[in-house]
A and B are shown apart, each in its own frame.
Chain A
Amino acid sequence: MVIDCHMHVRAGADGALDVQYCDWTIEAGDLLGIDRFCVSDLQLTGELRYDDFHAANDRVAAAVARHPDRYHGYCFVNPGDPKALDEIRQRVRDEGFIGIKSYNQYFIDDPVVEPVLRLASEWQVPVLVHAGYLTDGASKARQPLTSNALHLANAARRFPEAMLIEGHIGGGGDWEWALKHLREAPSVYLDTSGSGIDEWMIDRCVEEIGAERLLFATDTTMEGSVGKILDANLSEPDRKRILGGNFQALLDRRAV
Chain B
Amino acid sequence: MTDYRPLFGSGIIDCNSFIGHWPFRRLRRNTAAELVAMMDQFGIWKSCVASAEAILYRDSHEGNRALYEQTREHADRFWLYATINPMYAGWERDLAQCVDWGFRAVRLYPVFHNYRLDSPEADRIVRAAHEAGLPVAISCRVEDVRQRHWMDRFEDVDPLDVLGLAEAHPDTRFILMESLLGWPHDADEWRRLRDTQVYVEMSRMTALMERPLEIMTWELGDDRVLFGTGFPFKTPSPAFLELQVLDADEDAKARIAGENVRRLMDPEAGKG
Measured CB to CB, the residues of A under 8 A from B are: 21, 24-25, 27-28, 31-32, 132, 134-136, 138-139, 172-176, 195-201, 220-224, 226-228, 230-231
A228 touches B146 (CB 8 A): no
List 9 A-B pairs, minimum CB-CB distance, nearest first. Answer: A172-B146, A227-B237, A227-B238, A223-B241, A224-B238, A28-B208, A231-B235, A222-B208, A230-B237
Q: In the complex, which of the residues A32, A174, A221, A231 has the most CB atoms of chain B within 10 Å of its own CB atom?
A: A231
Min Cβ gap B211→A in Å is 8
Q: In the complex, which of the residues A139, A197, A221 has the most CB atoms of chain B within 10 Å of its own CB atom?
A: A197
A198 touches B25 (CB 8 A): yes
**How far is B231's CA from A175's CA once the two chains are assembled, in angstroms?**
18
Q: Closest chain B residue to A175 by CB distance?
A: B147
A199 touches B234 (CB 8 A): yes
Q: Closest chain B residue to A140 by CB distance?
A: B146
A32-B245, A172-B146 given as contacts; is B235 within 8 A of A228 (CB)?
yes
A132-B146, A136-B145 given as contacts; is B237 within 8 A of A199 (CB)?
no
A198-B234, A227-B235 given as contacts; is B28 within 8 A of A174 (CB)?
no
**How far is B210's CA from A138's CA once the two chains are assembled, in angstroms?**
26
Count class of interface residues, chain B: 20 to 34
Interface residues of B in 199-224 (CB under 8 A from A): 204, 206-210
12 additional contacts (CB under 8 A) given A32-B241, A173-B146, A222-B209: A31-B208, A135-B149, A175-B147, A196-B146, A198-B234, A199-B29, A199-B235, A223-B245, A227-B239, A230-B1, A231-B1, A231-B236
**B1, B148, B208, B231: the one within 8 Å of A27 (CB):** B208
Chain B residues contacting A221 (CB-CB under 8 Å) are 206
**B147, B234, B235, B238: the one within 8 Å of A135 (CB):** B147
**A24, A135, A200, A226: the one within 8 Å of B210 (CB):** A24
Q: Closest chain A residue to B26 by CB distance?
A: A200
Chain A residues contacting B144 (CB-CB under 8 Å) are 172, 195-196
Chain A residues contacting B207 (CB-CB under 8 Å) are 223
Measured CB to CB, the residues of B under 8 A from A are: 1-2, 25, 27-29, 144-150, 204, 206-210, 231-242, 245
Chain A residues contacting B147 (CB-CB under 8 Å) are 135, 172-175, 196
**How far is B144's CA from A176's CA once the two chains are assembled, in angstroms?**
14
Chain A residues contacting B232 (CB-CB under 8 Å) are 199
Min Cβ gap A140→B in Å is 9
**Residue contacts A-B, CB under 8 angstroms, 17 given:** A27-B208, A31-B245, A134-B146, A135-B146, A135-B147, A136-B148, A172-B144, A196-B146, A222-B206, A222-B208, A223-B239, A224-B238, A226-B238, A227-B239, A230-B2, A231-B1, A231-B237
**How far is B29's CA from A199's CA once the two chains are assembled, in angstroms?**
9
**How far is B147's CA from A201's CA once the two chains are assembled, in angstroms?**
13
Chain A residues contacting B150 (CB-CB under 8 Å) are 135
B146 touches A223 (CB 8 A): no
**How far is B237's CA from A28's CA once the two chains are assembled, in angstroms?**
16
Min Cβ gap A166→B in Å is 15
Min Cβ gap A114→B in Å is 29
**How far is B210's CA from A21's CA once the two chains are assembled, in angstroms?**
8
Min Cβ gap A6→B in Å is 15
Min Cβ gap A246→B in Å is 21
Q: Closest chain A residue to B27 by CB distance?
A: A199
Chain A residues contacting B234 (CB-CB under 8 Å) are 197-199
